Amino acid sequence: MSTPSPALLPIRRLTPRDLTACADLSENRGWSRQEHRWNFLLTAGTGYGIDDPDGGLIAACVLTQYGPQSRPDLGAIGMVLVAERYARQGIGRRLMRHVMATAGTTPLTLYATPNGRPLYEELGFKIIGWAETVAGHFTPEPGEQCSSSDGRLTTRAATASDLTGILRLDEEVFGADRTALITRLPAFADQLRVAEKHGRLIGYAAAWPNTGTHVVGPLIAQDTETAKALIASLAARTDRPLRTDIDLRHEELLAWLKACGLAPTARNAVMTYGITELPGDESRRFAPLTVAAG
C-alpha cells in the first residue's frame, strides 16, 4: 500500500502522552527537546498534530485560550513545527488554518520566528510589536545598579496566599483571565516571586527550567525599577544562565539586562489576527510566560 499524501493525513488533538513525539519534533527542527515546556503547554493548552505513518509526528502546534471557556477573549498559538522532511509541502499552512478555524472568532496572537513569519503573514497575521530574546549569566558590571535602589520596594518568594493577588494583577495586565496557566506556575516554575511596596503587590515573576537555563517569565511589574528588582532576586537564587523575551518597548530594561551580562540571541515579531493590539497594559507587561503561550 502506498503512503498517503501528507495533505490527506488527519489532524488530531495531542495529549501529554504525545510528549516524546513533540520533543522529537523540536529536536528535528534544531530546537532543544523542551519536554518541560511541552508538558506544560499540552496540559494548560490544546495541542494539535499530524501523525507520521512511519511513527512520530509530522507536525504539531499548541493553542492556549484565555478568558471564559465558552467565549475566550484571546488565543495564543505556539510551538508550530513541521518535520524537516515534510517542509514546504503546505503542512504548516494546513495546520494553522485548522487551528484558526477551531478558534473561530477568538482573536489570536503569536510570537513569530523569522522562519514562521511569511506563513503567518500569508494567513493574515499582522506585526504589532517585537520581543528580543536575551540570555546569559546575570553578572552585574562593577558600578552597575543591578538591584533596586528604592528601599521601599521588596521582593520575596510567593506563598499560597499570594495566588489570588497574582491572578488579579495578571488579569489586569494581561487583559484576559489566565487562571489555568497561572495556577500551574508553582509546579512548572522553580521560582515564583512577588514584589511589594507598602504591603501592596506591584509585580510578580517566575523562573522556569529550560535546557540548562532558567527562563524568566511571566514578568509583570508596575515599572522598570520593579522589573529589575524581580529579575535580580530571581538571578540571586540560581546558578544557571537566565533567558527571557523582553518587549522591545521596554528599552531601559533591555539595556540594563545587557549591562548585567545578558546578550541578545533572537528577535521575534509579536503578531495578531482579529485585533490590532493586545488587551491589557503593555507598560506593565515586560516578558511573556513563554513565547509559545503569551
Ligand X SMILES: CC(C)(COP(=O)(O)OP(=O)(O)OC[C@H]1O[C@@H](n2cnc3c(N)ncnc32)[C@H](O)[C@@H]1OP(=O)(O)O)[C@@H](O)C(=O)NCCC(=O)NCCS
When binding is defined by CB under 6 A, the residue of 92, 175, 218, 280 that contacts ligand X is 92
Q: Which residue is nearest to ligand X (CB)?
A: 92
Instruction: Check residue 124 for interaction with ligand X (CB under 6 A).
Output: no
Applying CB under 6 A, what is the total number of residues that bind ligand X? 18
Q: Do the beta carbons of residue 179 and residue 2 sit within 8 Å? A: no
When binding is defined by CB under 6 A, the residue of 45, 49, 67, 116 that contacts ligand X is 116
When binding is defined by CB under 6 A, the residue of 27, 122, 141, 172 that contacts ligand X is 122
When binding is defined by CB under 6 A, the residue of 63, 76, 112, 192 that contacts ligand X is 112
Q: How far is the CB of 87 from ligand X (least distance, A)?
A: 4
E-strand stretches of 24-143: 46-51, 57-66, 74-82, 108-112, 126-136
Instruction: With CA atoms as reference, report the closest residue to 96 among 57, 49, 128.
Output: 49
Q: Do the beta carbons of residue 138 and residue 261 sit within 8 Å? A: yes
When binding is defined by CB under 6 A, the residue of 11, 50, 91, 176 that contacts ligand X is 91
Instruction: Check residue 118 for interaction with ligand X (CB under 6 A).
Output: yes
Q: Do the beta carbons of residue 158 and residue 184 sit within 8 Å? A: no
Q: Omega before 218 cis (within 30°)?
A: yes
| H-state helical runs in the chain | 19-28, 35-44, 91-103, 117-122, 163-174, 179-182, 185-188, 224-235, 251-259
Span 3-42, contacts to ligand X by CB under 6 A: 29
Instruction: With CA atoms as reference, report the closest residue to 220 among 253, 243, 255, 186.
Output: 253
Instruction: Check residue 49 for interaction with ligand X (CB under 6 A).
Output: no
| All three cell numbers of 216 | 524568566
- Return the range that interacts with ligand X (CB under 6 A); candidates 10-18, 79-87, 129-137, 175-183: 79-87
Closer residue to ligand X, CB minimum distance, 76 or 176: 76
- Return the range that interacts with ligand X (CB under 6 A); candidates 44-52, 88-96, 127-135, 152-160: 88-96
When binding is defined by CB under 6 A, the residue of 87, 236, 248, 263 that contacts ligand X is 87
Applying CB under 6 A, the residues found at the interface with ligand X are 29, 80-82, 87-93, 112-113, 115-116, 118-119, 122
